[in-house]
Structure formats: C-alpha cells, structure tokens
Chain A
Amino acid sequence: MNLLEHALATWMPAQRWFPGDRIGGDVTVIADTLLAAGDPELRHLIVSVRSGRPAGPPAGPPPARYQVLAGFRRQMPAELAHAVIGTDQRGKTVYDGLHDSELTTVLLRAIAGERADGPLVFTREPDVAIDLTARSLVLSVEQSNTSLVFGDSAILKVFRRLFAGPNPDLEITSALARLGSSDIARPLGSVSSRLDGEPVLLAVLSEFQRGACDGWQLALTSLRDLYARATDRAAEAGGDFAGEAHRLGAATARVHADLARAFGTQTLNPEELAGLAGQMTLKLKEASAEVPALATFADKIATAYAALAEITEPVTVQRIHGDYHLGQVLRSRSGWVLLDFEGEPLVPLDRRRDLAPALRDVAGLLRSFDYAARHLLVGHPDASRLSGTALEWVARNSAAFCEGYAEEHGSDPRDQAILLRALMLDKAVYEVMYEARHRPSWQDIPLDAIAGL
C-alpha cells in the first residue's frame, strides 16, 4: 500500500458510512480519475477493501468497493480540518473533497455540462435547469451515503459503498418524473461509471425539498407530545398525526398508481402465489432457528402464510418502493414526498426490480408506525402505563393511512386482509432477526407486534 492507501485504511473505518470499525486486509485504489487539476485538486477514487483474511486462494468474501472524492491541498484552511484523511506521496494533504464547496462545484458543473472524464460519465436529465452558483453543504444525518445540498434547490447523493448493476432508484424516479409526479423528488442528473464490466451508479442529483423533514422525525414529535400528556387518547393529543398519516397514505397510493402505469402490472398465478408464501416460510424457518423467542409464534405465522397461498382472488404485483418506512418520506411545505427507491438493501441489485404486491410497501409503513410508537418506550419508566396509548396511536394512524390510501387508490389495503397480514408478519420476522443480531433490547418491538397481529 502506498502512503495514500495507508491514510485511507486509517480514515475509512472511522467514517459513519463504513460498516465495522477496522480494516484487517488490504486497501487498494483501483481507479483514479483526475476531475480538477491545480490546488485544490480533485480526484475520484474507487477503493477496494479486503476483509481481514489472508490474501490468495481460497479467497474470502469478494472485496468491498468504496468511492472517495479526494481533495488535495498544500495548505489546509482551518474549516476543512475535520475532513483530513492524511498525506499523500507528493506531500500534499488529502481530505474528503465532499466537504470542500470549492471542489464540489466541479461535480455540479460536470453534470450540467454532461462531461465525461475517463470512465466517469456525467448526465443531466432532459429539460432541467441547474443553478451553478449554489454552494454545497454536507448533510450530517446520513448512514450509508453522503449527501450534499447545493444552495436550496438541489441535493447530490453520493454513494459510498458501490454495487455494480443497474440502480432502481434513478430508473424509477426518472420514470415517475416523466409522468409528472409531484410525490417524488425529481432527478436532475447523475454520475456513473463501470465496475466489473457492469454499469455502476456513483451519485444522483435531485430536486431538494426545502424546509422538509423526514416522516420519522415528525411522527416522533407527535409521540413525544402524546406520552408527555395526561391524556392517553391519541385523538385528543395536540400532536395528533392522523391528518399527516392520511395524506401520506394518499401520496403512497398515487406513487403506486404511477409505478403501475410506468412499469406495468402482472397477476400472480396460484403457483407464483404459493412461491411467495414459500419464500416467507423459508425466511420464518431460518429466523426461528436463530431466535428461539420467535419459535412460539411459528405455527401461527405459518398458518397465516398457508392462508396466503390459498387466496383465490387475483393478487396483482408491480414495481414498488421495496424499503418503505417513515424514514423514506419527507414532509415538504406542500405535502409528502417519497424518497430512495433503491429497494430492499439486503436483496442483490438484479433482484430488486422484481415485481411485488404494492401492499408490501403498505405493510412496511404500518410496521414503521409501530416502531415509532414502541421504540420510545424501550427503557421508558412509564412503559407499561403507556403501552396501551402507543397501540392506540398506531391503530389510529394506521387506519388514517389506509383511509388516505383508499381514497386515492379506490380500494382499502385492509380489504386484502390475508395478504396484508402475511406481509406484515414477514416484515416483522425480518425485524426480529435484525434486532436479535444488532439491538437485542429492541427485539420485543417486533415480537410484541407478531403476538398482536
């Protein structure tokens, strides 16, 4: 490893977007593209990181690839001190260039000008205007990507870990934008390259929702108010969320209708329906083996899946959001906007475009209401007194969401009770496994939900 790679090997594990806290193996820069020469200089790096096993066959898991936009300066201004990565072979300071608004403007200009730099291709969506004078700011709230806001009109999401293959998010938002949807953030442009002989999306520029905040934060505002109040009736609390839930249901239904228009629908035949139930059952078995507490409910859940396989009325499938929860929606000044159509993160990219019942998204959001209400009670001194209040909040907002969905869609999700229940159980089973691995103290959230479903 050269000096730069050594610096990266120390810096990367300290970043929020990096899974784990250390690197056992090699760090290699496998692609290096100069985007702006001079001082400061901007280079686009793709960095390959091997896990700790010894190199050479038999190989461990394939190396993970990360994207770093590296800035280089001889003199570092104080306000960039927090972004320093280290020193390179030339004696220049290397730093995370995304924090330097002097350098990020290069990316904006490249997209606006549809530039191509080596393997990097910058694309602008047709008929969009990009404000080139806007300075960028790194949003500090993200887990797996880094987002820059330019002025108050555009946001550039820069992926950190790269996955080769077509990206469903850009495909879906472009298609919905063409249909004139106002329920999504319109894409303005993108940056892509190739990795392992396949296309890879590096960054997406889209419309920024000024003054917006995510649904999870807004729901917590409502819940904090409810829990701190003498009343235990969600409808009477000042921070009632039902109006928002109703509008969110309607926005969700509109996006589903647009997705159906843009990508078509199919009807599951009995074998496919049984296949769907079969997949769920498989997941259940895997989870029950891992989490003993789930085993008590296994029969109940299996019965619900069996009922799904027996449904006689047609089940329609279509492109869906795939990873839908309150953190994926933004409340803007005019209403709700849906974000991040990348699909279920654990599913391989090429499977994320599979068709699924739209109710999978509905189930995801209803589970999210449950999470929002219950996670605040983990370790809460009044948890037992408030649990009924929490359930009432969930029921009230789930009903409002479904009513809003029904008003826009024509049919109420609750009318497909067997399907919805199976999808919610499937989601909860996944959650149990996730919590058992990562947050054992939260495991009761999905387990309680399964008991109640």
Chain B
Amino acid sequence: MATAPDKPTPPMPTPPPLTGFAGPAATPVPDPFSFDQPRDPEWFKRAVFYEVLVRGFHDSNNDGTGDLRGLMSRLDYLQWLGIDCLWLLPIYASPLRDGGYDISDFTTVLPEFGNVGDFVELVDEAHKRGIRVIADLVINHTSDAHPWFQASRSDPDGPFGDFYVWSDEDTGYPDARIIFVDTEQSNWTFDQVRGQYYWHRFFSHQPDLNYDNPKVQDAILEVLRFWLDLGIDGFRLDAVPYLYEREGTNCENLKETHEYLRRIRSEVDRQYPDRVLLAEANQWPTDVVEYFGDRVLGGDECHMAFHFPLMPRIFMAVRREQRYPISEIMAQTPEIPSGCQWGIFLRNHDELTLEMVTDDERDYMYSEYARDPRMKANIGIRRRLAPLLDNDRNQLELFTALLLSLPGSPVIYYGDEIGMGDNIWLGDRDGVRTPMQWTPDRNAGFSRCDPARLYLPLIMDPMYGYQAINVEAQENNNGSLLFWTRRMIEIRKRHPVFGLGRYEELSSSNPSVLAFVREHPDPGNSQEAADRILCVNNLSRFPQPVELDLRRFKGITPIECMGGVRFPPIGDLTYLLTLPGHGFYWFQLPPVQER
C-alpha cells in the first residue's frame, strides 16, 4: 500500500485499533489522480459518497455562510470517516431562488462560497487525502438571470435567440406533467420582454435550454470541459430526463436526450477517463437503466444513476415489518451494464421522494412519517433520517447497514452520520439544510460570526440540538453513532464485493427477515474475487428466528464482520439464526478450507 509523502497529520484523534478480525487497516490510499493515467476507472463502484452542502458545512471567513475553504478545513474529518467521494451541491453563481439549481453563470463560483481558485485548491487537497470531488451541474435549464436568457429575451434574432424554448402559444407539449405542482400552474410562462411564452419544467424562473440548437449542445460541453480541466472528478447531472421536448410525448426520456448524453460521455472518455457522470433521473429502474446506455458496450451514457424507488421501499418495509416492499423493487430492478453502478441513499437534500410509490402507499407513508402537514413538501416528506426514525438507534443502525450493503454505491447526507435533526418550520427544503454541528460551542463550531448572521438557524431543540448532537462529542465516544458508522464504512471498504458483487436474495420462511448474499459473479482464483458476504436483516422491532437455505455454501464457516466471531459451519440443514429487534448480521463467507 503506497503512502503519500505529503500526507498531512490528521488533527482528528487516532481511532483505536480494531479488535478481533480486523484485516488490513483501511487507511485511505492517497492518490495523485493523474490526468494522463487513469489508474482506477471503476473507483466509483466501490466508493462511499458524501453529499455536502457547501453553504452548511463550515464557514472559513465568518460571514455566516459555509464556503469552499471551510469545507477544505474539514477534509481530515471526512478522510477519518472513510469517505471516498464528495458530492457538492451547486457551487455556481446564482440568484439562489432554488438553492443554486438556478445557475446564472456556469463558470463562476458563487462569491459567498469563494472563487475558482479556492475550488482548485479544494480538489487538490481532497485528492491528497484519497477523496474525489464531484459536483451538481444543472444542464436542463438556467436561471432567468443567466446572460444567455437575458440576451435571448431581448434579442430574438441575436446569437442567443434560440437558446431557450420559445413559443407564441402556451399550448405545446400538453402531455408533460407539471413537476412542482405546489407552485406552478403551467410549464409555459409569458415573458413581457420578448412577448412570447418560454418553456420550463421546473420553476418559472428556470427556463429550459433548447437542446435542438447545436450551439446549446456545444456551449454545455464547453462548461463540462471547463470544470474537468480544473480537476473535478465528475458531475451529478441534474434533471437529465427533460433535456428535449417532442409533441405527443410526455417530454421525458426522449431518444434525443440519450443521444446527447452519449455525446457527453464520449467526450469524457476521450479526454477525461477516470471521471464519472451520475444521472439524476427520478424514474422507475426500468426507465433509469436507459441512462446507462448500451449494455453491450458496458454502458455509454452515464456511469451512475440514482436508484430512487429503493429508498421509500426501505422505509416502508421496516414500517410494515416485512421484506416484500424491498424484495419486489429489487426483483424489478434490471441488470445494469458492466461499467455502471447504482447510487443509493436513505435521505438527501430533497424531500423523501414519494413519486415512485403507489397512491395507497404514499398516503400510508404520509401517515406514518409525516404526522405534521408541514413535514410534507411537493410529493414527498422533508425530514432527516434520525427524526424520521424517532431517533431510534437500533433503526438508525439497521437503515445504515442496509444502505451500506444493498447493491450500489451509498451516498451519506451530511450530518446523518451523527444523527442530526431537522427544522420543519423553515421554508421549502431548508429544514434539512441547517449548519453542520461540529461542537457544542457557539454556532456549533460552524462559524464564528454573530449568530444572527447564520444563513439558517441551528437546530436547538433538546433532542437534536447542537449541544446534544455534534461531531466533537461523538468522535470522543466509541459508542457513538459516528464511530459506529465509521466502523461500518471501514468494513464495507474491506470487502469490495459490497460495491462490485451481484445481489441474490435468499429464501427464508420469516417474512420479517431480509437475507441476501453479495458475491462476485465469476469468483475465479484471486482472493478478492472469492470474497462473499451474507447479510441478514430483521426488519421487525421484535426478535426473530430465521432458517436460511445456505446449502450452496455447505462446509463454510461464516465469520461475523464486526467482531470476527466464527459461527457454526453451514451443513445440510437450514441455517438457524436469531436476530434481536431491528438487528442485522454481516457475515463473511470465506472459501472452504481444504482439509
């Protein structure tokens, strides 16, 4: 294992050595991420992602708003936690009417966050710690404050006249649904300046770019190159299903959209190997797989896409105390091309999305998880993980274990590793975007500004307030959720099969138990390829017995991953396990020892 010569001394306390079956220590491998030599084109399949709100992570200049330099100062914490890749929410110049998803200049950093130079430094510092950086990029639309739109509305015949979708009527594309049903009545809005309607799938201040115009296609590619040249490791492409519009369709997932994504991908492959494109397409898995592209080629569009329906199903399965909500969605999830990976998450900056469940189930999720109507937004629930689970440690652990063991690369939302709370009284989706809680001191260690200047108030209730829930308190406590999460991430990283292996659900007679095996499709002879993990999860709050059919692994002695305890060898009979309420086991199934 290589050690970087310039590895900084971590200010975090050195974690105590793991006892029992510890295996090799999971020190992150610092990595130069050379531009010319792709060293690990499949890094994203094994990576643990961390979604970070720059605004909310750390404030370096005490203006009350987090910034890139603040984030840089906390990279050691992220390295200590075991994070492989940061996903930054939008960092671009923006009037901030939609959390930065309304970009007014693609090649400028929002001044409150810093400048392009700070960004380059952040990427370099992250790379030194073995951490990659990807960022949100919205390519479907811009802010109405973007100079392209200003030029387009004032000079219809000028060079930007066709950059947006203009029409004399507001009747086109009637089959396209309205996404933000709470605020928008139509996908068309009249512009007084130009005297025409413009098309927008999201807010009316976010006009859609006109991808039928080759100049738009080229301009967006130019934007991608700008950031890739600065060293960024990839993009989460926001709202990709909506790039093109065609009459008589619902204007989602059109073939022209896929053609353009292939063009982006071939450009990335040609000049920037080792980078990743992550599609945000809130669709059923069968539709989302289209965004991976050609299976024969191993995928020729996006490397990754989010598996949206899985997340609400996990919540539902635990609430119903039975595995079928998860089993069903996994059974409906198609194979993905060999070069691709799902991104999975429990919570993120948006609400708990319920578009992917049936009406009955949505009512049920509302009644279960959002007893207060203010907790609902659009078609979802705006809560953080810990309050959604009533701050129940057993459930938090079970959910995290599922996140880290189901197929896909896990994405942790900042603050969920310490069990941060939310503030449902803040507007829109701000309730889950409050400042990161570092210490019990003033402003939670997030900023040294006057508390009144904070971009959002800190969580201060007795259960989730920063005096109770913060990094400092938890990193000094081996029993904390933070330590536990770090330990689980470390185990996951010791077993790349979690990221690379196929998923096979096992039969069991107990409906409350979800058991599955992660293993490499073609074990071969190498040690890594022979790695195999059995995961058994009790979705019920009551203790449960389960009899598993493990004949395939006859003769193997399962080793529990947390403590290294050897369990009885697997024989001809069903394998009996008992699990505590909301308990789970991860077992390594090593190859049979030749006698």
Chain A residues at the B interface, C-beta cutoff of 8 Å: 79-80, 82, 99, 101, 135, 137-141, 149, 152, 210-214, 217-218, 221-222, 224-225, 228, 236, 238-240, 243, 331, 333-334
Contacts and interface: CB of A to CB of B under 8 A. Distances in A.
Interface of B: 319-324, 327-328, 331, 360-361, 364, 367-368, 505-512, 540-542, 547, 549, 551, 571-574
Contacts of A137: 549, 551, 572-574
B507 A243 contact: no
Contact of B509 (A99, A217, A228, A333): A217
Given A140-B573, A221-B512, A240-B364, A333 B320 contact: no
A213 B551 contact: no
Contacts of A221: 320-322, 511-512, 540
Given A210-B507, A213-B509, A217-B510, A333 B327 contact: yes
A214 B511 CA distance: 8
A229 to B, nearest CB: 10
B448 to A, nearest CB: 44
A99 B321 CA distance: 33
8 contacts: A101-B572, A135-B551, A211-B327, A222-B321, A238-B320, A239-B320, A240-B364, A333-B328
Given A140-B547, A149-B549, A152-B507, A331 B321 contact: no
A152 B551 CA distance: 10
Nearest to A244: B324
Given A135-B551, A137-B551, A331 B324 contact: yes
A432 B322 CA distance: 32
Contacts of B321: 221-222, 224-225, 238-239
B505 A213 contact: no
Contacts of A331: 324, 511
Contacts of A228: 541-542
B506 to A, nearest CB: 8
Contacts of A214: 509
Contacts, number: 83
Given A221-B540, A239-B321, A213 B511 contact: yes
B320 A240 contact: yes
Given A149-B549, A217-B511, 11 more contacts: A99-B572, A140-B574, A211-B327, A213-B509, A221-B322, A225-B321, A228-B541, A236-B367, A239-B319, A240-B320, A333-B328
Given A137-B549, A225-B321, A333 B507 contact: no
A137 B540 CA distance: 27
Nearest to B506: A211
Contact of A213 (B508, B572, B573): B508
Nearest to B572: A79
A211 B320 CA distance: 17
A235 to B, nearest CB: 9
Contacts of B571: 79
A135 B509 CA distance: 19
A362 B323 CA distance: 27
A82 B571 CA distance: 12
Contact of A211 (B360, B361, B505, B573): B505
Contacts of A238: 319-321, 368
B236 to A, nearest CB: 31
Contacts of B511: 213, 217-218, 221, 331
A218 B327 contact: no
A285 to B, nearest CB: 41
Contacts of A80: 572
Contacts of A212: 507
A218 B541 CA distance: 15
Contacts of B320: 221-222, 225, 238-240
Given A140-B574, A221-B322, A225-B321, A334 B542 contact: no
A99 B551 CA distance: 13
Contacts of B328: 333-334
Contact of A333 (B324, B510, B549): B324
B334 to A, nearest CB: 14
Residue from B547, B551, B571 having most chain A Cβ neighbours under 10 A? B551
B331 A333 contact: yes
A183 B10 CA distance: 60
A32 B508 CA distance: 36
A292 B540 CA distance: 42
A217 B574 CA distance: 18
Nearest to B540: A221
B360 A243 contact: yes
Contacts of A243: 360-361
A152 B319 CA distance: 28
Contacts of A333: 324, 327-328, 331, 505
B322 A239 contact: yes
Nearest to B554: A135
A245 to B, nearest CB: 12
Question: 7 tightest CB-CB pairs across the interface, nearest first?
Answer: A238-B319, A333-B331, A213-B511, A218-B511, A333-B327, A79-B572, A239-B321
A334 B510 CA distance: 17
